[in-house]
């Protein structure tokens, strides 16, 4: 070939390239042309470009329109993408039925993300009848194809027995598969399985390892769990400071239990300087998320004027919130507020009602208080048998005041058989707890 001919070919190639570059200045133009010719893959790719704003202005409506064209040609990835648009109401009017319909088409083509999306809709009953068994079937199909989030959710279903027989070994196995792929929620879940010995041999070191992996990636539940490991000295040396640091990270992300725990740390000066105001702040954060213990502790802070001005009304309001969640210490305190008329109108019947709830859960102070109410006929008809029954329950839990009362009744034969030895026994139990009146009664009877 002559030199001139070679240069002509090279020049021709350059010119052709320049022409093509002018005609198709970017891949979006090429994709557009191919999409307009009806190429499903190009239509799907163009939809992604509009969805992500790559090479074209971001336009969710255009994205949905191109996904629709590709989906109608049976392309599974486009069907999944369109289903997601309908599920989330992006670029189209939100429509769970349309989402389910497109997910179904793609899922039947074994597209794992569509299988997962369809499983979620069945689990929630959105766009399809609620059916946890069918949801489990689709999670299984997606999990079998290696989709980490499906593996994790399948593990959760096995762990809770929701839609599947409860099986901790299966749960742990699926968490492991997802965790090994780096899914942080699965790493936290697997850590919990090792911490509790569920489906795997109990192993604090492995629990710590998985919690750390998830915590380092910002999972607030893992940070909370890691804080618990440091607080309890499990798999690591006990360290209040490290516990508080982990709980602070989780608390700032909005984790309610971590907020409560951090409040306790500030209230008691463990791992952090004692600071009642910060204790109140974190109790408040957790209390507003419905944590009964935090609501109770916040009430205590208001009742004692710690970190906030003393305010019986606020104390009673927070105790009521916790009491309505069946938290017995709050029920006991609220009963006392009604009995004394502090922060609420004085009301013996209400006092009895709340003490009754706490006493039924074994709170000895509430049991003793109920004994007094029945013995004196306050808020309830007078009933010595009921009074003695409640005092006995409290006394058996080593509540000194109730033991003293039973000693008096035994000494006097009031409601109980006259029995000096029984009186000595009850007075002795109370005296061992430094009950002053019991000590005096014991000395008097021994003379």
Cα–Cα distance measured from residue 39 to residue 88, given in angstroms and rounded to the nearest whole number: 26
H-state helical runs in 181-327: 184-196, 204-216, 220-232, 240-252, 256-268, 276-288, 292-304, 312-323
Give the mean pLDDT of the chain. Answer: 93
Task: State mean pLDDT over 295-317.
Answer: 98
Contact 142, 122 (CB under 8 A): no
For residue 76, name the pLDDT band (cuts at 50, 70, 90). very high
At 269-288, the pLDDT tens digits run 999 999 999 999 999 999 99
Cα–Cα distance measured from residue 100 to residue 143, given in angstroms and rounded to the nearest whole number: 19
Looking at per-residue confidence, does 222 or 54 come out higher? 222
At 58-75, the pLDDT tens digits run 999 999 999 999 999 999
Cα–Cα distance measured from residue 243 to residue 231, given in angstroms and rounded to the nearest whole number: 5
Cα–Cα distance measured from residue 401 to residue 404, given in angstroms and rounded to the nearest whole number: 5
What percentage of the chain has pLDDT greater than the value 70? 93
The pLDDT of residue 23 is 44
Cβ-based burial of 205 (10 A; exposed 0-12, middle 13-18, buried ≥19): exposed
The pLDDT of residue 20 is 43
For the chain, the residue count is 447
The pLDDT of residue 393 is 97
Contact 10, 4 (CB under 8 A): no
């Amino acid at each position: 070939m002559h030199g001139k001919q070679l240069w002509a070919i090279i020049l021709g190639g350059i010119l052709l390239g320049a022409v093509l570059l002018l005609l198709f200045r970017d891949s979006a133009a090429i994709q557009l042309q191919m999409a307009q010719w009806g190429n499903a893959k190009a239509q799907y790719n163009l939809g992604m470009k509009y969805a992500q704003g790559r090479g074209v202005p971001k336009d969710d409506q255009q994205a949905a329109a191109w996904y629709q064209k590709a989906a109608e040609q049976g392309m599974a990835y486009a069907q999944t993408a369109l289903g997601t648009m309908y599920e989330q109401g992006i670029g189209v009017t939100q429509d769970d039925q349309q989402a389910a319909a497109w997910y179904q088409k793609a899922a039947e083509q074994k597209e794992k993300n569509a299988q997962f999306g369809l499983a979620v809709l069945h689990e929630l009953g959105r766009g399809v009848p609620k059916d946890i068994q069918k949801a489990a079937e689709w999670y299984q199909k997606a999990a079998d194809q290696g989709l980490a989030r499906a593996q994790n959710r399948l593990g959760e279903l096995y762990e809770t027995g929701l839609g599947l027989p409860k099986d901790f070994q299966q749960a742990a196995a699926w968490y492991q598969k997802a965790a090994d792929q780096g899914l942080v929620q699965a790493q936290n879940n697997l850590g919990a399985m090792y911490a509790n010995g569920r489906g795997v041999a109990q192993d604090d070191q492995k629990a710590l390892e998985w919690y750390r992996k998830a915590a380092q990636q910002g999972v607030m539940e893992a940070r909370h769990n890691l804080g618990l490991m440091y607080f309890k000295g499990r798999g690591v040396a006990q360290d209040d400071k490290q516990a508080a640091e982990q709980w602070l990270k989780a608390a700032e992300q909005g984790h309610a239990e971590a907020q409560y725990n951090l409040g306790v740390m500030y209230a008691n000066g463990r791992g952090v300087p004692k600071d009642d105001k910060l204790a109140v702040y974190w109790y408040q954060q957790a209390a507003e998320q419905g944590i009964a213990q935090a609501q109770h502790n916040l009430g205590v802070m208001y009742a004692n004027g710690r970190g906030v001005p003393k305010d019986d009304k606020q104390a009673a309001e927070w105790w009521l919130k916790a009491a309505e969640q069946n938290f017995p210490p709050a029920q006991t305190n609220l009963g006392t507020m009604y009995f004394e008329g502090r922060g609420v109108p004085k009301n013996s019947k209400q006092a009895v009602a709340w003490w009754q709830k706490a006493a039924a859960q074994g709170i000895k102070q509430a049991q003793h208080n109920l004994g007094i109410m029945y013995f004196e006929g306050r808020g309830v008809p007078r009933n010595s048998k009921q009074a003695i029954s409640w005092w006995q329950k409290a006394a058996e839990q080593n509540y000194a005041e109730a033991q003293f009362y039973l000693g008096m009744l035994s000494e006097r034969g009031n409601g109980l058989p006259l029995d000096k030895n029984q009186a000595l026994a009850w007075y002795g139990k109370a005296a061992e707890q430094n009950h002053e009146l019991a000590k005096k009664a014991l000395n008097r009877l021994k003379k």
